Amino acid sequence: MTGSLDAAYFDGIFASDDDPWGLASSAYEAAKFDHTLRALSDRRYDRALEIGCAHGILTKRLVSLCDTLLAVDISAHALAKARERMGDHRGLMLRQMAFPRQTPDDAAFDLVVLSEVAYYWGGVDLERAGAWLRSHIVAGGRVILVHYTGETDYPQSGDEAVEKLWAGVADDFSVERAEQCTGYRLDLWKRR
């Protein structure tokens, strides 16, 4: 598989199971989200973007670190669940978007969260994502990537996706963290 997975793929997954990856029920997922928040909680973020928010489990925790948080997902079904879960939160916007083919307006961000999403993209979309990150992250801004490292049937493995994305942004970012954990990796990059 060389292209990115599309909205129909994800809508089908969410239509058949409200919690397809155990994001709300798994101890593994809870520990991974705890790790993600610990990596980010040394500061507050003015304008953040979460790409692939699914039904808002991590979003609900991220919003407390951000003045504004734009959470996007390709799946209309997932976003409907996220809206139910989140209710009204000051500074939170939920939007359907097929990132990186569709991107937020020309706004700059000081945090972009890519949690379990980059391996769904083909090579062309990873290049697009890298180009967008280089032009839309403010100096000192961060990108956090958290990806499963086991075998998948996605366009990329977690390791391949992160390495390809890094190849596209390495000239403009430095590595703050690169951690291999049981079943996943966490990478934190900072815009120079």
Q: Is the pLDDT of residue 29 over 60?
A: yes
- Show the DSSP H helices in 87-188 as ranges: 123-136, 158-169
The DSSP-derived string for 74-86 is S-HHHHHHHHHHH
Where residue 92 sits, what CATH number does that domain have? Answer: 3.40.50.150
State CA 65 to chain mean position distance. Answer: 15
pLDDT in tens, 90-115: 999 999 999 999 999 878 999 999 99
For residue 141, is it within any domain?
Answer: yes
For residue 36, is it within any domain?
Answer: yes
**What is the distance between the alpha carbons of residues 152 and 87, in angstroms, rounded to a whole number?**
33
Q: Is the pLDDT of residue 181 over 60?
A: yes
pLDDT in tens, 36-54: 999 999 999 999 999 999 9
Host H or E run for residue 37: helix 27-40
For residue 2, is it within any domain?
Answer: no
Q: Is the pLDDT of residue 19 over 80?
A: no
Q: In the block, which residue shows the tokens 């994800």? A: 10
User: What's the predicted TM-score (pTM) here?
Assistant: 0.93
pLDDT in tens, 124-146: 999 999 999 999 999 999 999 99
Query: In sequence order, which residues have a C-beta less than 8 Å from that of residue 152 and are 6 or more positions away?
Result: 119, 158
For residue 23, is it within any domain?
Answer: yes
pLDDT at 5: 83
pLDDT at 2: 64
Q: Is the pLDDT of residue 183 over 90?
A: yes
- 61 is in which domain, residue-wise? 7-191
Per the structure, the count of domains in the chain is 1
For residue 180, is it within any domain?
Answer: yes
For residue 1, is it within any domain?
Answer: no
For residue 168, is it within any domain?
Answer: yes
Q: Is the pLDDT of residue 75 over 70?
A: yes
Mean pLDDT, range 163-185, rounded to an integer: 97
